[in-house]
């Protein structure tokens, strides 16, 4: 049995939470490897809805879960999430949850800066969640971040905060705003430290032990390939690498340990926040997709932009991210449409192109080339076998497979965990 990495193949919000929960039954351990609490996964289990941001989805089912070094961690948000999940009957202990001791922290100064910069950008906003993720990654790369392990030493906390504020307070002076009070920030950090430290371990050792013992590891990605800081629609992206290559570096294990890469792919396309979106629909069909798909962000509650399935973008994500097969989600949202369009290419300056260009200006002006397919006009919701799917729905799935050059390994037909058609078990590879 191999290990599986689950990543998004669009702009996030593809339904990874349900698929990770479904796969977690077959896994021995679940690992988050990038992002922060700007990502959100929704799980519906026995009528209860769990909204997770930092916690790996496996914790809900009592699976050993790891927050890897590639994640930036807001300790206050983590403790709040542990409490919220606890209120729903899931007790999170250090035996269940392990936090990489070399993960960088998100501090209140990061949240404040994130929000201030977005507000100052006006029409030039990139659509961050305002939770400090970008500024925290900036401090990590600039080597001035406070890490989880630093919480155990008060002298290190003081020294690192002072170094960090040399940079941050210069920014606040430049913005004409009040500087950060170092003493207050240090006091906040010291107060939260003993609550976080029980979860902190050298995660690379845990991963090595799991690999030695041939444990099945499920690597849980956040966001999607088109939000990758290198390969996405830059600068309208997140601050980390969201493709499967990050699963190894972000958890402290070799790349050969990742195994099968499952790309979660919605049967249409959505995006939250600003940035290019070639297949976006601003008409009644776009509104219908949003209403039927309940397209609101798990973390922010923001309404998602909706559009037709973009096979060009997904194929590019599959090539860049090394995706082995996809889990196609939310097929049932298309049930009432008499015709369905799929983007099969882009037009750019009068020429047909087969990929999304890197330049921001070109991304903004590509025009989709559509192929129209007949809808099935009946319910696929809750289907658990191919025999329960209408012929036109199967044709749609097969055409998507051809266009993206990857097979459908799983098909999800509702938010319920068991409404899933298994074509190929990713753990069997």
Task: Find all residues with CB under 8 Å of 195, minimum gap 6, and list them.
Answer: 75, 79
Contact 41, 20 (CB under 8 A): yes
Residues 57, 24: contact at Cβ < 8 Å?
yes
Tokens (6 digits) for 95: 């035996």
SS3 label, residue 57? helix
Largest CA distance in the chain: 67
CA 165 to CA 266: how far, in whole Å?
42
213 is catalytic: no
Closest CA to 73 of 192, 185, 169: 192
Q: How far is CA 126 from CA 134, 179, 276, 294, in A?
A: 11, 25, 11, 23
Instruction: Find the helix packing angle between 75-87 and 182-196, rounded to 10°.
Output: 40
Which of 21, 37, 41, 332 is labelled catalytic? 41
Rounded distance between C-alpha atoms, residue 193 and residue 201, angstroms: 14
N-terminal to C-terminal alpha carbon distance within the chain: 6
In the chain, how many H helices and how many E strands?
A: 12, 18
CB 343 within 8 A of CB 425: no
**Phi, psi (degrees; rounded to nearest 5) at 413:** -115, 5
Determine the distance from the C-alpha atom of residue 344 to the mean position of all C-alpha atoms in its chain, rounded to a whole number.
Answer: 25
Are 193 and 99 spatial neighbours (Cβ–Cβ below 8 Å)? no
Annotated active-site residue 41? The verdict is yes
Where helices occur in 197-237 by DSSP H, the ranges are 203-212
Three-state secondary structure call for residue 66 = strand
**Tokens standing for 85?**
């999940």
Q: Which of 13, 139, 228, 332 is catalytic?
A: 13
Overall size of the chain counted in residues:
429
Q: Do 211 and 289 meet the contact criterion of CB atoms below 8 Å apart?
A: no
**b/e map 19-54, b = 16+ CB within 10 Å:** bbbbbbeebbbbbbbbbbbbbbbbbeeeeeebebbb
419 in Cβ contact with 389 (< 8 Å): no
CB 259 within 8 A of CB 2: yes
Active-site residue list: 13, 41
């Amino acid at each position: 049995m191999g290990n599986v990495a689950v990543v998004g193949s669009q702009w996030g919000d593809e339904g990874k939470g349900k698929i990770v929960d479904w796969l977690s039954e077959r896994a021995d351990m679940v690992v988050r490897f990038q992002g922060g609490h700007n990502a959100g996964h929704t799980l519906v289990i026995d009528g209860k809805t769990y909204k997770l941001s930092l916690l790996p989805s496996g914790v809900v089912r009592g699976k050993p879960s790891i927050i890897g070094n590639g994640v930036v961690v807001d300790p206050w948000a983590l403790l709040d999430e542990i409490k919220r999940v606890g209120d729903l009957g899931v007790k999170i202990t250090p035996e269940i949850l392990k936090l990489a001791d070399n993960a960088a922290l998100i501090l209140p100064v990061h949240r404040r800066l994130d929000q201030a910069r977005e507000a100052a950008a006006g029409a030039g906003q990139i659509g961050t969640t305002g939770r400090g993720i970008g500024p925290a990654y900036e401090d990590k790369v600039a080597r001035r971040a406070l890490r989880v392990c630093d919480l155990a030493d008060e002298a290190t906390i003081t020294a690192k905060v002072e170094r960090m504020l040399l940079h941050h307070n210069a920014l606040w002076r430049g913005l004409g705003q009040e500087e950060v009070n170092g003493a207050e920030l240090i006091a906040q950090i010291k107060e939260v430290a003993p609550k976080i430290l029980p979860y902190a371990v050298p995660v690379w050792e845990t991963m090595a032990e799991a690999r030695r013992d041939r444990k099945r590891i499920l690597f849980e990605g956040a966001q999607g390939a088109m939000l990758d800081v290198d390969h996405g629609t830059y600068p309208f992206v997140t601050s980390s690498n969201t493709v499967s290559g990050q699963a190894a570096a972000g958890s402290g294990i070799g790349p050969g340990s990742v195994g099968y890469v499952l790309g979660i792919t919605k049967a249409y396309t959505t995006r939250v926040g600003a940035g290019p979106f070639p297949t976006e629909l601003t008409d009644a069909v776009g509104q219908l997709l949003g209403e039927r798909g309940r397209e609101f962000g798990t973390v922010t509650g923001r309404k998602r932009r909706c559009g037709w399935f973009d096979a060009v973008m997904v194929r590019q994500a599959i090539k860049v991210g090394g995706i082995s097969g996809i889990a196609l989600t939310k097929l049932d949202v298309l049930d009432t449409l008499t015709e369905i369009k799929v983007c099969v290419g882009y037009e750019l300056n009068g020429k047909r192109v087969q990929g999304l260009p890197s330049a921001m200006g070109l991304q903004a002006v590509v025009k989709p080339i559509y192929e129209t397919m007949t809808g099935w006009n009946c319910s696929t919701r809750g289907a658990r076998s191919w025999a329960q799917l209408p012929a036109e729905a199967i044709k749609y799935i097969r055409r998507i497979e051809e266009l993206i050059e990857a097979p459908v390994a799983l098909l999800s037909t509702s938010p319920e965990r068991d409404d899933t058609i298994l074509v190929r078990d990713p753990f069997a590879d």
